A and B are shown apart, each in its own frame.
Chain A
Amino acid sequence: MTGELDLLAELLKHSPALIVAIPLLGAFLTPLIGKINDKIRNGFAVFIVALTSFFAFLLANDILSNGSIRTYVFGGGSALTDGGFAVRILFEIDGMNAFMAIIASILALAGVIYSWSFMKENTGLDKYYTLILLMIAGMFGMILTGDMFNFFVFLEITSIAACALIAFRTNQGKAVDAGFKYIVISAIGALFILFAIAILYSQYNALNMAVLAREIQLTFLDKIALALLITGLAMKAGIVPMHMWLPDAYGRAPASVTLLLVGATQASLYGALRMTSTLYGKNIVGVIKHADFNLFSQVVFDITLNGVLGFIVILLAILTIFIGVLMALKETNFKRMIAFAAVAEIGYIILAIGSAFLAVSSIDSVTSSAVLSQPGYMALKGGIFHILNDALDIGLLFLVAGAIYYTTKETSLNKLGGLARNMKYTTIFFLIGLLAVAGMPPLNGFASKILIYESTYQVNPILSIIAILCSILLLAAFVKVFHSAFLGPKQEKFDNVKEAPKSMLVAMGILACIIIFIGLFPEYVLNNIVTPAADALVNFGNYIHAVDSNYVISLIGGF
């Protein structure tokens, strides 16, 4: 009995490193195993991803139930050397990291099972599975790391592997062109992030996120670094007006690759959240400009950093939602339309996070946490919950689009019609995805969208009105797709179209079951998975205390 408990505890202690190391090892073993047989190589890839997901769920279960933070220092030893410097690379996992790891592992599992039969007619599948496992390793590394330069390296690994996968069908000219656009945008964004990391290193002689969070103040160079970091990561996340690469890249890639690209986009959004709320957490109410002038009496007010950030983010969010929805109504290519809907959903997340920034009133220096008002805390929880729901819904819709391309070889909606007779299960999955994106109870979109509507109403009622209006327009766009692709009379050229193969149905079924489960039990998910993540973002003192135990925080206070 004690032997078995020790094995589980040992695995748990080393799981952050195993989550990144197992896909890397599997990626380089795949071409060797591919020489034996095709089926064995596919099974090996699914086995590696299943093992990684097992470790990710084990780690997330431990973090979310205890509320503790784990650090894993590479090379043994302690996080701080004798002199008090943090020079070793470490992975630091708190509630927010565990939440993102759950999302990434669900998407990776569905993607690899789906591509078993989706890519069957393509050649060069050895390279495909190698690149998929490399991209999964890069995504997990970006999510779990606690070191700034390590984040940059994993960001580059993910974007190089993703670019090669987008341009996988080299016989089509437009896919190669989409890959080229993706790597140009990605390289520029990553280089500007490296510039910001170099500025921060030159000021404080530290690359560790916890040490930087302890030391940072709002000097002029720090403000430049913050602007560069936010804009670079926002371009990778697809926020208007830097979003134009997203429909090209999502629309021309194979469908299983698009699913993993959604995961990579959410990981960049997580990076932006981590930089602003933990790295600059101590200065989030720092004064930028102090203005006093004489109107009829002395008017004195401060412009604080969270006010400026909230203003910028909410402005970009409204633009994102509008442009995403308007372009989705006009588009007639199936996957490009879903990509525009993905842009609009990112706008909802940003809207909630911006409202949370505006609601920060002060910093509690005793417990080292930000003091939010109650609507702001609800907005933060709604935004983080919507990351999970958005990844699942948009992922399911992309898988359905891929299934239709696989059976009918058509991508344009003008040429489809009447497919509900032949493909029954695919129609049901598309209906579930449609209702979930529009926010219909009892599916999961309703739970997060009502939190966003209620909390942004407290900031300004107009924001809530715009959000509800665009949600209805998004429903209109998807009803157009449902009518023109699935309903209608039976057409002759689709007479011998069969149902999608079994592994694709299994992958879609996994996502649909999780959607229905979250929709029926939202309180359970909200209290056990989302609230620890929101708490981890608000209490940045715990993040610092896990690395540097001399940083004194007291445990009174909080909510």
Chain B
Amino acid sequence: MLYQISRFIEQWLDSFKTGSEAFGVGFWNPLAWIISIIIAFLIVYIIRGMGKNEYKEKTEQTKVFLSGNPEAEKEKMHVKASNVYWGFLETLKWLYKGLDKMHNGNVSDYVLWFVIILGVTLLLIGGI
């Protein structure tokens, strides 16, 4: 009896296997995804709801704490998009100089690249 129940559960789980024996077997069940997303959402919502009751808006509690420094206006506090990856862009400046020269707005350069690739493809397919 227990054996039959376990066989039944094993067959039901087997129906969700994906892939083949050669490349590896996986497991994908859409219902499991939906249920786990709903459970995660509920957990986050409950934890958010367990906040403190003494929160009042527009009093001293909502001011930003900057260790006593004066707070600048909101537009200057937000990190702008061109500054977000500053370190990465600085170290690769030599690469970006070449790439920017490729992307100027000149149509003649675009057609020149087309002719170059056409020549290379003709040589390679034609058999040199």
List residues of A whose CB falls within 8 A of some B CB.
177, 180-181, 184-185, 188-189, 192, 220, 223-224, 226-228, 230-231, 234-235, 241-242, 244-245, 247-248, 288-289, 303, 305, 308-309, 311-312, 323, 326-327, 329-330, 332, 374, 378, 413-414, 417-418, 441-442, 454, 476, 480-481, 483-485, 488-492, 520-523
Contact = CB atoms under 8 A, between A and B. Distances in A.
A350 to B, nearest CB: 14
- Nearest first, the 5 A-B pairs at minimum CB distance are A413-B81, A484-B81, A520-B30, A488-B78, A417-B78
A242 B81 contact: no
- A220, A241, A490 interface centre (most CB from chain B within 10 Å): A241
A184 to B, nearest CB: 5
Interface string B91-128: 01001100100110101011101101110011011111
B34 A520 contact: yes
Given A177-B105, A248-B105, A330-B96, A228 B126 contact: no
B82 interface: yes
A235 B33 contact: no
A242 to B, nearest CB: 5
Given A330-B89, A484-B78, A247 B103 contact: yes
Contacts of A189: 114
A289 B128 contact: yes
Contacts of A305: 125
Given A485-B81, A489-B78, 12 more contacts: A185-B114, A224-B126, A244-B109, A288-B127, A289-B127, A311-B124, A327-B103, A332-B82, A483-B79, A484-B79, A488-B78, A491-B78
Q: Is the interface of B mostly helix, strand, loop or mixed?
A: helix
B96 A483 contact: no
Given A226-B125, A227-B126, A374-B22, A329 B89 contact: yes
A406 B107 CA distance: 30
Contacts of A417: 75, 78
- A227, A329, A476, A484 interface centre (most CB from chain B within 10 Å): A227
Contacts of B102: 241, 244
- B28, B81, B111, B116 interface centre (most CB from chain A within 10 Å): B81
Interface string B8-33: 00000000001000110000101001
Given A188-B114, A241-B102, A305-B125, A481 B81 contact: yes
A488 B73 CA distance: 13
A309 B102 CA distance: 26
A237 B81 CA distance: 29
30 contacts: A180-B107, A181-B107, A188-B114, A220-B126, A223-B126, A241-B113, A241-B116, A241-B117, A242-B113, A244-B103, A245-B110, A247-B103, A289-B127, A305-B125, A308-B125, A326-B96, A327-B99, A332-B82, A413-B80, A414-B81, A417-B75, A418-B74, A442-B37, A454-B23, A480-B85, A484-B79, A489-B74, A489-B77, A490-B74, A491-B78
B84 interface: yes
A245 B88 CA distance: 26
Nearest to A241: B113
A173 to B, nearest CB: 12
A490 B62 CA distance: 13
B86 to A, nearest CB: 11
Contacts of B88: 329
A414 B30 contact: no
Kindly state the interface size class of chain B when it binds its partner: 35 or more
A244 B105 CA distance: 8
A227 B122 CA distance: 6
B78 to A, nearest CB: 4
Interface of B: 18, 22-23, 28, 30, 33-34, 37, 74-75, 77-82, 84-85, 88-89, 92, 95-96, 99, 102-103, 105, 107, 109-111, 113-114, 116-118, 121-122, 124-128
Contacts of A223: 125-127
- A188, A189, A247, A311 interface centre (most CB from chain B within 10 Å): A188
A230 B121 contact: yes
B103 A329 contact: no
A189 B115 CA distance: 11
A150 B97 CA distance: 43
B110 A312 contact: no
Contacts of A490: 74
Contact of B74 (A185, A227, A491): A491
Nearest to A458: B23
A489 B62 CA distance: 12
B61 to A, nearest CB: 16
Contacts of A311: 124
Given A329-B85, A520-B30, A231 B78 contact: no
A12 B56 CA distance: 65
A481 B85 CA distance: 11
A308 B126 CA distance: 10
Given A330-B89, A374-B22, A184 B127 contact: no
A309 B121 CA distance: 9
Contacts of A184: 107, 111
A227 B121 contact: yes
Contacts of A476: 85
A442 B33 contact: yes
Contact of B28 (A309, A329, A480, A523): A523
A245 B117 CA distance: 16
Given A184-B111, A242-B117, A489-B78, A484 B125 contact: no
B111 A188 contact: yes
A396 B78 CA distance: 26
Contacts of A330: 89, 96
- A220, A230, A330, A491 interface centre (most CB from chain B within 10 Å): A330
Contacts of B37: 442
Contact of A227 (B99, B118, B128): B118
